[in-house]
Structure 1
Amino acid sequence: MELTFLGTASAIPTKTRNHTSIVLKVYDRTVLFDCGEGTQKQIMDAQVSPMKIDDIYITHLHGDHILGLPGIIQSLAFRGRTRPLNIYGPPGIIELIEHIKKLGFFTIAYEIVVHEITQDDEIIYQQNNFLIKAMKMKHTITNYAYKIEEIKQPKFLRPKAIELGIPPGPLFGKLQAGIPITLNGKEILPEQVLGPPREGVKLVYSGDTIPQEQMIYFAKDVKVLIHEATFAKEYQDKAIENGHTIAADAAKIAKNANVEQLILTHLSNRYTNSKTLEDEAKEIFENTVYAEDMMTIIIENNKPVQIIKKEWV
């Protein structure tokens, strides 16, 4: 997985922080998580073609997470997109997209498939290599966190297959795909030549939320947890009042969930930089970084998380 933070600000953007959005490349798909105002400009700066976006996942319907949708949808139409665009989000997302289709004068020649999430902690998308789940968090309106989970195929035990008399070739491929074969009148099952299931990498993105026990469960043992941390501890009461998390509480969640890397985001515009919040979190969970716009994260199995910050000129 490779992801880039397109925006890391909360309600009001700043000169150095755009409204919230993350672009993720996972296997053959390119997806957006949230789509704040200015996202399509940030996509260009990140050198990602908007035409390659397959899916958009919206955590909740506050403006700083959705106001980039009209621009993206219209720009894709102007560029001549023909293949469908999938948009996932909480109840109300269908009505929102219908309004966007009528906003301004333009023609959409591609299908927008809107998926309204109503089930909690269930798979909302799956293909051979990865799946995505949604879990309801607690904000001032309905908000969903998302988990991206790699599906690793069991290891093929080649020596065992040869021992059973299976010749290398197409029969190996069938067994690897989970299809039983018949050889010399004897059925051979995939589990006879496959090792135990392997753990794939996992990533969780919180959206906006107050600290939740559900997040500890949802993010258990993930490689990377991206958690909102809008305020430092001096504004804890304000954070709870507005449905947000302070950096220290996000760090406690990361520690209790046994995650490998915590990345904080959604900075209030009252801060000129994120150092105070990052330092507070590191007192509890050392492996913490506060996200910056255009920061890229590379996530691989059995390797440390690679964090690349953009060099601003």
Structure 2
Amino acid sequence: MRELVVLGTASQVPTRYRNHNGYLLRWDDEVILFDPGEGTQRQMLMAGLAVTPIKRICITHFHGDHSLGLPGILQRISLDKVPHPVTVHYPGAGQQFYDRLRHATSYWDNAEIVASPLSGARCVVETPAGRLTALPLWHSLPTYGYRLDEPSGRRMVPSRLAEHGISGPAVGELQKAGRLGDVTLDQVSVEKPGQSFAFIMDTGLCDSVFELAAGVDLLVIESTFLTEDAEMAALVGHLTAAQAGAVAHESGVRKLVLTHFSQRYQDPSRFLEEARQSFAGEIVVAEDLGRVPVPPRRGATVG
């Protein structure tokens, strides 16, 4: 199962219909929680999600709408005695905020929480799901965006296996060793492209935005403002829906998820209209408790 569960889509101020930020990525066995804002624990309950599968938490920056839900999530992880370590990635420049949130109140600390502060121009972590890359963004305080890249694999081609008389357990031996006699793995298989995901919040346009988004299958990106307020967006380090659409177009994104909407706008269809001016692909205007599947894997070409 590979899908994004949207827990909250508001920006600075929640509304009657939009909670503060919160996004849970289910990527097979690697479950990652991004930017748990205030109320995330309850939103997970409403979405039918438990904290137990969470393997890591990624914080883009320490504004309240992106991190005030962290204490409740960590305490619930402890209450449920999650048996595996849970790694928390966050900007190291905000260490004092992490420390306060980590132990915001008294509770029995029964879980292994691994702090993983980010620093510098590029941070790369190898995970069971693939390579997790964090790049600094442009905002009013240190902020990082995240990208997950699954490594490419190989898909066996039955007709090629038959040509070489390989079947049954021999197929597994070939996959494991990369060669069986004079037959190599490349001769009987094609590349299976890995999937990719990017998460970009609270930033003005910068090189990292495009690097994170380049060619991803699923891009979750803030679109706090509409073009009518573009001057304000630039001033405070945010994007418009039109800019988010342009990023998706220029970066070759397959599916675009718009989120982090300012409470000043009442009609969400306007975000779609603006993004559609630049991006012709699939666009999702995120709604609380919505589920967005990762697009099907790109097909491998058999020569």
CA contact (8 A) 2:36 2:70 kept: yes
Partner deviation per Cα, 1:205-264 (whole Å, 9 max, x = no partner): 111111223322332222222111111111111111111011111111111112222221
Structure-1 residue corresponding to 2:247:
253
Q: Return closer, same or farther for 1:191/1:230 CA change in 2, 3 Å cut-off.
A: same
Superposed CA RMSD: 2.3
Partner deviation per Cα, 1:272-303 (whole Å, 9 max, x = no partner): 23222222222222443321111210123258
Structure-1 residue corresponding to 2:79:
78
Structure-1 residue corresponding to 2:301:
none
What's the CA shift for 1:175?
Answer: 2.8
Q: Which moved more, 1:292-301 or 1:37-46?
A: 292-301
Question: Please, what TM-score do these two structures have when normalized by structure 1?
Answer: 0.85
Q: Return closer, same or farther for 1:174/1:119 CA change in 2, 3 Å cut-off.
A: farther
Distance 2:126 2:58 in 1: 11
What's the CA shift for 1:63?
Answer: 1.2
Structure-2 residue corresponding to 1:35:
36
Q: Return closer, same or farther for 1:77/1:218 CA change in 2, 3 Å cut-off.
A: closer
Provide the secondary structure at the position in 1 that maps to 2:20. Answer: coil
Structure 2: tracts of 5 or more residues without a match: 299-303
5 Å-filtered alignment, 1:137-286, equals 137-161=137-161, 164=164, 166=166, 168-169=168-169, 171-177=170-176, 179-180=177-178, 189-195=184-190, 197-286=191-280
Partner deviation per Cα, 1:16-49 (whole Å, 9 max, x = no partner): 1111110111011221111100000000111011
Distance 2:273 2:134 in 1: 30
Write the letter of the residue equivalent to 2:296.
N
What's the CA shift for 1:160?
Answer: 4.4
Distance 1:121 1:203 in 2: 17
Provide the secondary structure at the position in 2 that maps to 1:155. Answer: strand
Write the letter of the residue equivalent to 1:289.
V
Provide the secondary structure at the position in 2 that maps to 1:11. Answer: coil
5 Å-filtered alignment, 1:291-302, equals 291-302=286-297
Q: Return closer, same or farther for 1:220/1:80 CA change in 2, 3 Å cut-off.
A: closer
Structure-2 residue corresponding to 1:105:
106
Q: Return closer, same or farther for 1:172/1:119 CA change in 2, 3 Å cut-off.
A: farther
Structure 1: tracts of 5 or more residues without a match: 304-313
What's the CA shift for 1:69?
Answer: 0.5
CA contact (8 A) 2:33 2:57 kept: yes
Q: Return closer, same or farther for 1:302/1:86 CA change in 2, 3 Å cut-off.
A: closer
Distance 1:78 1:255 in 2: 44
Distance 1:200 1:180 in 2: 19
CA contact (8 A) 2:68 2:101 kept: no
Give aligned-pair identity as a percent. 30
Distance 2:258 2:160 in 1: 46
Write the letter of the residue equivalent to 1:141.
L
5 Å-filtered alignment, 1:52-91, equals 52-91=53-92
Distance 1:285 1:167 in 2: 45
Question: Please, what TM-score do these two structures have when normalized by structure 2?
Answer: 0.88
Q: Return closer, same or farther for 1:122/1:154 CA change in 2, 3 Å cut-off.
A: farther
Provide the secondary structure at the position in 2 that maps to 1:83. Answer: coil
Distance 2:65 2:87 in 1: 20
From 283, 289, 298, the counterpart of 2:284: 289
CA contact (8 A) 2:259 2:285 kept: yes
Distance 1:102 1:132 in 2: 26
Distance 1:279 1:300 in 2: 22
Provide the secondary structure at the position in 1 that maps to 2:154. Answer: coil
Structure-2 residue corresponding to 1:308:
none
5 Å-filtered alignment, 1:120-131, equals 120-127=121-128, 129-131=129-131
Structure-2 residue corresponding to 1:17:
18
